[in-house]
Amino acid sequence: MPTIPLSYTQIYTGFVGLREDEILTRHPLGKHLQYLGKQPLHMGMFSLCYALNEDQIFLLILEPINGVNRVVGQKTYWEVEKAFEYLERYAVSHEIGGYWINAAGDRRLFVRIEQPPGDPPALSVSIY
């Protein structure tokens, strides 16, 4: 696969806010992603898992909003600490365990590192 020049912001927050039908078409990595599966979550939400390769994985959390499935969370599983530190320069406020950065419009993204027992660490970004 050719190298695609992307910013950390595009890689680690770029899926948040997209509709399900835009994941493969609007994100610069979309056409390079391999679909790994879908899993139902609570309250009509579900997760989609994509990979660029065996080490570069995205887990996207989607929620039906006004009849449209939209990405409300993104977990990325590589260069987690480095990306967390990089994105922190855009923090507008901090909370225990993470920080807020501004997104398009008047929305905010909460950025944190998650590591549930038995799972690798992930940079988790959620829109509010």
pLDDT tens figures, 7-21: 888 899 999 999 999
- Residue 52's contacts (CB-CB under 8 Å, 6 or more residues apart) are 1, 29, 32, 33, 34
In a domain, residue 68? The reply is yes
User: Does residue 2 register a pLDDT over 50?
Assistant: no
In a domain, residue 20? The reply is yes
3-state secondary structure of 127: strand
Check residues 74 and 8 and name the one with the higher pLDDT. 74
Q: What is the pLDDT of residue 4?
A: 53
The two structure tokens encoding residue 72 = 């409300």
Task: Give the count of domains, the chain.
Answer: 1
In a domain, residue 1? The reply is no
In a domain, residue 3? The reply is no
DSSP H helices, the chain, are 8-13, 23-26, 80-88
Q: Could you list the residue range(s) of the whole structural domain that residue 19 is in?
A: 8-127
The two structure tokens encoding residue 114 = 């998650």
In a domain, residue 86? The reply is yes
In a domain, residue 24? The reply is yes
In a domain, residue 29? The reply is yes
d(CA 29, CA 45): 23
Phi, psi of 106 (to 5 degrees): -105, 25
Q: Residue 91 in contact with residue 99, Cβ under 8 Å?
A: yes
Q: What is the pLDDT of residues 43-71, one digit of tens each?
A: 999 999 999 999 999 999 999 999 999 99
Q: What is the pLDDT of residues 87-128, one digit of tens each?
A: 999 999 999 999 999 987 788 999 999 998 999 999 999 998
